[in-house]
Amino acid sequence: MATIKDIAKKVGCSISTVSRVLNNDLSLSVGDETRTRIFEVAEELGYKKKTMKTLVKNIAFLYWLTDKEELEDIYFHTMRIEIERLARENNMELTTYKVADGIEKIPLNIEGFIAVGSFMDRELEYLRELTNNGVFIDSTPDAEYYDSVRPDLDQITRKTVEVLKQQGHKEIGFIGGTFQNAETNVEEMDGRERAFRKYMQQEGMLNESFIFCHHGFSVDNGYFLMSQAIERLGENMPTAFFVAADPIAVGCLQALHEKQIDVPNRVSLISVNNTSIAKYVSPPLTTFNIDIEEICKNAIHLLLEQIIGKRKVVKTLYIGSELIIRKSTI
C-alpha cells in the first residue's frame, strides 16, 4: 500500500508538505503545480483514494431557472439541493447564481461551473471566455466544449411504448410540456415528445390527434391538457397516455377523476421522474425513476476530472432509469 513517503519521494518534496497538501492545509505556501502533482501521484499510487478530497475553489452553479419554474417542477428543486449537498461532500466551494442575476454576474476567476436550465448563445460564448471546465445537467447545449450528464429520454420513451404495447394498447397518446427557446422566445418540442413521435412512427401507430402539449411541466398544465383531450376526443380517446413528467400526470389524474373516467381500466398512464407524490396519488402512478442523485454525482465527478485530472476530452453521459409499476397501468 502506498504511503505519504512514497508520494513525497516520487514528487520530490518533503513528507510534511505532502501530508499538509492532502489534508487541504490552506496555510501552506506551495505552488499550484506542486499541489496538483501531489494529488496526481497520490491518485496514481492509490493512496487513500476514497477519503482524499482536494479543495476545489471558485465553482459556479448556474441554476438557470425562474423561481416559478422551480416551484412547479420538484425535479429541478431536488436537483439543486442535491448538487449543493454533493459539492459540500466533495470539498467544493460552490456559489449558486440564478437566471435573474444575469450571466455577467459570474465572476471572471471561476475554475469551472455546473449548469442547469436553458442558455442563450451569447451566454455560452461568455462561459467559454471564462473557463474550459463545465458540466451541463439535463441538456447538451455545447457538446464540443463542455461535458453533460442527462437522463436517457430516448430509452425511457422506447420502453414506454414497448410496455404499453405488451399490455395490449393499440392507441397511445402523449401529454407533455414545451420549452421556450431563450434565444428566440419560441416554444420548442421537448425531447420526450420528439422521441415519442419517432418510435410511434416506426411502429405505425402515430396519431397526431392524440398528442397534447403546452408550455410548462406543472400540475395545472396537466389538468389543462387532459381536459382538452377529453373534450376533443370524447369516446375516441386513446386507451393509454405517455405523460412527460409526474406533475403533469397529477393534473391529468385530476381531470380524469372529475369526468369519472376510470384509471387504468379506461385510460392508463405512464409518467416520468418518480417524485415523492407519485405513489400517493390515486391511483399511484406507474413512472420511470430518474436517479437524480446519480445524475448529480456524475456531474460533480466529471467536473473534478476536468479540474483535478486535467481531462481535455469532452464527455456526454446518459443515465438509464427504472420503470416503477404501480396502479395507473393495467
Same domain, yes or no, for 160 and 285?
yes
For the cut 90, the answer to whether the pLDDT of residue 182 exceeds it is no
Are residues 184 and 269 both part of a single domain?
A: yes
In a domain, 327, yes or no: no
Domain identity same for 36 and 63? no
Report if residue 328 sits inside a domain: no
**Domain check: are 145 and 158 in the same one?**
no
Number of structural domains (the chain) is 3
Amino acid identity of 129?
Answer: E
Residues 298 and 283 occupy one common structural domain? no
Reply yes or no on whether the pLDDT at 303 is more than 80: yes
pLDDT per residue over 243-286, tens digit each?
999 999 999 999 999 999 999 999 999 999 999 899 999 999 99
Q: Which CATH number does the domain housing residue 240 bear?
A: 3.40.50.2300
For residues 157 and 111, membership in a common domain is answered with no
Q: Are 158 and 279 found together in one domain?
A: yes
Domain range enclosing 207: 153-291
> 251 and 126: one domain?
no
**pLDDT tens digit sequence for 81-95:** 999 999 998 889 999
Is 26 a residue whose pLDDT tops 70? no
**Residues 241 and 264 grouped into a single domain:** yes
pLDDT tens sequence across 32-44: 888 888 988 988 8
Q: From residue 58, how far is each of 55, 106, 130, 141 by CA, in Å? A: 10, 10, 12, 23
Fill in the amino acid letter for 226: M
In this structure, is residue 326 part of a structural domain? no
Q: Is residue 278 domain-shared with residue 171, that is, in the same domain?
A: yes
Q: In whole angstroms, what separates CA 110 from the centre of its chain?
A: 22
Alpha carbon distance 181, 191 (integer Å)? 13
